[in-house]
Amino acid sequence: MPKLYKFLSVFRTGAVNAASGSAYAEFGNTKVIVSVFGPRESKKAMMYSDIGRLNCNVSFTTFATPIRGQGSDHKEYCAMLHKALEGAIILETFPKTTVDVFALVLESSGSNSISECVAGDLPVVISCASLALADAGIMMYDIVASVSVSCFNKNLVIDPILEEEIGQDGSLMITCMPSRYEITQLTVTGEWSTTKINEGMQLCLDACAKLAKIMRSCLKEVASDSQE
Amino acid sequence: MVGLSLGETHFIQGGIAQDLRCDGRKRLTYRPISVETGVIPQTNGSARVRMGATDVIASVKAELGKPSLLQPDKGKVSIYVDCSSTAEPAFEGRGGDELAAELSNALQRCLLGGKSGAGAGIDLSSLIVVEGKICWDLYIDGLVVSSDGNLLDALGAAIKAALSNTGIPRVQVAAGTSNDEHPEVDVSDEEFLQFDTSRVPVIVTLTKVGRHYIVDATSEEESQMSSAVSISVNRQGHICGITKRGGVGLDPSIILDMISVAKHVSEQLINKLDSEIASAEAEEES
Amino acid sequence: MGLPNVSEDLSSEMEVDAFRRLFPLRYFERHLAESIRPDGRPLGKARETSIFLGAVASANGSALVKIGSTTILTAIKMEVMTPSLESPDEGCLAIDFHMPPICSPIVRPGRPAEASPVVSKQLSDTFSSSKMIDLKELSLVSGKAAWMAYLNAAFIMQDIYCLDADGALFDAALLSAVASLSHLQIPVVAMNDDGKIVLVSEEDGQKREQEPVNKEKRKLTLRSIPFSLTCILHKNYILADPTAEEESIMETHVTVVLDTSGQLISLYKPGGPVLAYTSAIQDCAALTRQRVKELKSFLDKANSAMEVE
């Protein structure tokens, strides 16, 4: 039996006033803030474009990891976040302009330093970013939820913690739009048989659907609060 | 970027829908692959792979280093890809960096396996010389010389060929000094250990154009893609890594279907590649 | 100056929001004439302030401070270092003020904000001139035999992150820095056989072979705590604790830093179009004096709340 979901999650929108939209997410040990700015004018050097642009950045604080880091940008995460979101945003609704999605990982659940892959943080960053986009009123086809599982001694463990991630035989991360039942981002490492992949994907998709429900209720709460 | 007229895009899409592509191939046929090994003499192993107009070089360099604290019983492998501006004018300066980073990440994900080492194409434990003190660091560099689509598969094949071409010098640890912080070693320049590359997976990229997907897309075909999934499969038919490119969402059932197609295609590709590598090696020796 | 008159005519017809965007200065001045600010505060009043200690679990000391919507998170990590030759018996305090792109629309990734090095410098100047921390206290084993190669001292690294920038960044950063120092728990260290300093783990899992060097002093003594208040000078008005909008419209800022006994530690007036009379500076100082009392009680409350837990 796969381990039960570790959904000790906190989602909150409107974390940063200066931004058009923002969200804070806490998931196990991972703490993330995402701000969305825009749609605003694209950089001058950019060429004309009749669809909007999406610009993503992910950085870590110096105290995000047990060993003091450099607090630098995480290039790989930037690219992954961009790919996970671009399929969900209706870019046609803001031509000539750019939406900036900036994430700051306050605390990471991952290993000792950023250079070692801290795959546990990325799903939280992606889910949090989609919530921030919704908070900013950017048009999306659906909410984007992301979950990872580790394959660990033939067991599938959802949302792995650090100790599990170090010993894992493989990991699978899915980003999907649950209502449309579409996968926008998928990465797999390690050795998997087809049946195991099937099982892992199904587990992730179910978890994504649950996660999206939590995210949606968080958005609804804010909306009903503001109406009062 | 590929500039195509409306007519040309229709022609490409229509061809794919009818299972007859512009160059006469079927949807699941690769372009002819040619492999040349030992192209760069100063490395421990190198190979050049050509698929149509796509031309890539991979080289392997081994250096003695110190294993990481977390995994004292394993060597280290790093993979970097460089997109030369000779391949495409857009790669000039820092233009190719983004693509290069994407390819490097995808290759690392596909070839290095999970954290515990399961599914790794390269057995990291075989790179250890003295546990916790000395190991081999493998630096695998990929260079894109000419780009006409399907770079990831070509690089994966080139790395596989380069690894089978790689000889790692035999190392003698001086007796009695093994407890020291820096044991003395004697690197032989005559005896070489051959790499076991039977576990190195091949990468199959399925590019979705319209409602169908194709293997080994040219850059013209890639410009029409909605999304692409790169699946690395080893000889046992196990999946060693998946990377998705392109932002458009895919239905989970389609992805599963792609995986089974990739497994089927990979068998032929591995056999083809192995025979190409064998003949290339034979040619080099003669 | 034909523009203000035009705006005066328009102001009766235009929507408030449009007027605020088109003629921000006019908009503010009309509020100021009524001795009130757009967010409903009187001129001399600071925004609501809250302090939360221990926000970052992995740090040795941390604090989250909110002044209005300006949010600052500080985390302290301590490390053992070799002191410099000039001051062999002193530790070191390094302050870094970061403005990540999430905090403000002005900051873009890859281009650090102009304000961040300025605030870093102001903070470290303030700390060094206030003599809040005795750096000699950070020395771990200086009194040992003279032949020892490593003299060791503690190195405090303070990383201050601005999470939401809405004016008065220096005030919030200083409060957060001070609060995190008051929360700081110095980790226990011991000297091993080689004369190197090593961390002693909290769990006490393994036998404690080495005697801890600093068993008794786990808290830093803060002698005089600096607090600050930034005011805007505009014509004859003094606005305490400005928001980002106010800061962008009216450009003369005065920052007064006082310690708890009311002594002046530093005063910044970085240019600006308004030339201040000494009386205005005195008024700023008076406002700061009140604010210091307020902040002191906030900090004490936060610290006592921590102790209860």
Expressed as residue numbers, the domain containing B123 is: 20-285
Mutation for testing the B interface, residue in A89, A142, A181, A188 having most B CBs under 10 Å:
A188
- Domain covering A9-227 assigned CATH 1.10.10.10 in the classification: no
In a domain, B10, yes or no: no
Which residues are paired to A59 by β-bridges?
A73, A104
**Cα C8 from Cα C27, distance rounded (Å):** 10
Contact between chains at A107 and C58 (C-beta distance less than 8 A): yes
In a domain, B52, yes or no: yes
pLDDT in tens, A68-92: 666 667 778 888 899 889 889 998 8
Q: How far apart are the first and last CA of chain B?
A: 42
User: Tokens 């170090």 label which residue?
Assistant: A166
Residues from chain C that touch A104, judged by Cβ atoms under 8 A, are 100, 102, 161, 163
Give the CATH number of domain C40-184+219-308; options: 3.30.70.3400, 3.30.230.70, 3.20.20.10, 3.20.20.60.
Answer: 3.30.230.70
Domain limits of chain C?
40-184+219-308
Report the pLDDT value the prediction gives residue B50, as an integer from 0 to 100. Answer: 92
Contact between chains at A183 and B251 (C-beta distance less than 8 A): yes
B257: amino acid identity, one letter: D
Average pLDDT over every residue of B48-52:
91
pLDDT in tens, C132-148: 887 777 776 654 433 44
Residue of A nearest to B104 (CA): A76
Winning range, highest mean pLDDT, from A104-113, B18-27, B166-175, C77-86 = B18-27
- Region of poorest pLDDT, from B12-26, B111-125, C269-283: B111-125
The dihedrals phi and psi of C105, each to the nearest 5 degrees, come to -65, -15
3-state secondary structure of B60: strand
Give the pLDDT band (50/70/90) at residue C269. confident
Which residues have CB under 8 Å from B176's CB, separation 6+? none
In a domain, B184, yes or no: yes
Residue of A nearest to B108 (CA): A189
- Region of poorest pLDDT, from A58-67, B5-14, C196-205: C196-205
Is residue A142 over pLDDT 80? Answer: yes
- Minimal Cβ distance to C166: which of A18, A40, A65: A18
Residue C218 · residue C185 · CB < 8 Å:
yes
The mean predicted confidence, pLDDT, of chain B is 84
Q: Does C38 touch chain A (CB under 8 A)?
A: no
Q: Does B238 touch chain A (CB under 8 A)?
A: yes
Contact between chains at A186 and B249 (C-beta distance less than 8 A): no
**Cα B58 from Cα B158, distance rounded (Å):** 5
Contact between chains at A197 and B244 (C-beta distance less than 8 A): no
In a domain, B263, yes or no: yes
Angle at A153 between CA A148 and CA A155, to 5 degrees: 50
Is residue A129 over pLDDT 90? Answer: yes
In a domain, B9, yes or no: no
**Cα B157 from Cα B52, distance rounded (Å):** 14
Q: Does A102 touch chain C (CB under 8 A)?
A: yes
In a domain, B49, yes or no: yes
pLDDT in tens, B54-113: 999 999 998 888 887 777 777 888 889 988 888 887 787 777 888 888 888 888 887 776
- Region of poorest pLDDT, from A200-204, B120-124, B256-260: B120-124
Q: Model-level pTM?
A: 0.85
ipTM (interface pTM): 0.82
Residues from chain A that touch C75, judged by Cβ atoms under 8 A, are 61-63
**Residue C6, token pair as written in the block:** 């035009």
pLDDT, greater one: A23 or C2: A23
Report the pLDDT value the prediction gives residue C148, as an integer from 0 to 100. Answer: 41
Which residues have CB under 8 Å from A139's CB, separation 6+? A89, A90, A93
Length of chain B equals 286
CATH value at residue B217: 3.30.230.70
Percent of chain A topping pLDDT 70: 83
Residue C101 · residue C195 · CB < 8 Å:
no
Structural domain total, chain B: 1
Is residue C73 over pLDDT 90? Answer: yes
Contact between chains at B245 and A169 (C-beta distance less than 8 A): no
Q: Does C69 touch chain A (CB under 8 A)?
A: yes
The dihedrals phi and psi of C217, each to the nearest 5 degrees, come to -100, 95
Give the pLDDT band (50/70/90) at residue C206. very low
Report the pLDDT value the prediction gives residue B55, as an integer from 0 to 100. Answer: 92
Is residue B23 over pLDDT 90? Answer: no
Report the pLDDT value the prediction gives residue A5, as an integer from 0 to 100. Answer: 43
pLDDT in tens, B235-267: 888 888 888 887 788 888 888 899 989 998 998
DSSP state for residue B124 in the 8-state scheme: G
**Cα B214 from Cα B17, distance rounded (Å):** 10
The dihedrals phi and psi of B58, each to the nearest 5 degrees, come to -125, 140
Contact between chains at A189 and B251 (C-beta distance less than 8 A): no
The dihedrals phi and psi of B161, each to the nearest 5 degrees, come to -65, -40
**Cα C92 from Cα C86, distance rounded (Å):** 12
Contact between chains at A61 and C102 (C-beta distance less than 8 A): no
Contact between chains at B118 and A169 (C-beta distance less than 8 A): yes
Residue of A nearest to C57 (CA): A107
Which residues are paired to C66 by β-bridges?
C50, C71
Give the pLDDT band (50/70/90) at residue A3. very low
Contact between chains at B119 and A86 (C-beta distance less than 8 A): no
In terms of Cα–Cα distance, which of A199, A51, A225 is closest to A139?
A51
Report the pLDDT value the prediction gives residue C195, as an integer from 0 to 100. Answer: 57
In terms of Cα–Cα distance, which of C224, C221, C219, C228 is closest to C65?
C228
Which residues have CB under 8 Å from A33's CB, separation 6+? A15, A16, A22, A23, A24, A103, A104, A106, A128, C102, C163
State the chains in contact with C (3 or more Cβ–Cβ pairs under 8 Å). Answer: A
In A28-96 the beta strands, taken as DSSP E runs, fall at 30-41, 53-60
Is residue A38 over pLDDT 90? Answer: no
- Region of poorest pLDDT, from A9-23, B213-227, C41-55, C144-158: C144-158
Do C and B make contact via 3 or more CB pairs under 8 A? The reply is no
